[in-house]
Amino acid sequence: MKEIEVVIDTEEIAEFFYQQLIQRGYVPEEEEIEELADITFEYLLEKCMIDEIDEEDE
């Protein structure tokens, strides 16, 4: 079976949160969105839902 590689980065997460919060009537600051994205990325790593790949190794 071929393994599918999906790349998820904090910028993508930040954009998703930003759009979702705007739709819900919130106006988040850029710094707040970046923090949420970092926390989400760390959560996904901790739960082994994603693996961290060093961009220099690619």
Q: With cut-offs at 50, 70 and 90, classify the pLDDT of residue 2.
A: confident
Convert the pLDDT of each residue in 22-54 to its tens digit: 999 999 999 999 999 999 999 999 998 888 777
**Amino acid in the structure at residue 19:** Q
Q: CA-to-CA distance for 17 and 38, rounded, in angstroms? A: 11
Q: Say yes or no to pLDDT of 56 above 70.
A: no
The DSSP secondary structure of the chain, one letter per residue, reads: -PPPP----HHHHHHHHHHHHHHTT----HHHHHHHHHHHHHHHHHTTSS----GGG-
* pLDDT number for residue 15: 95
Residue 18: closest CA among 28, 8, 10? 28
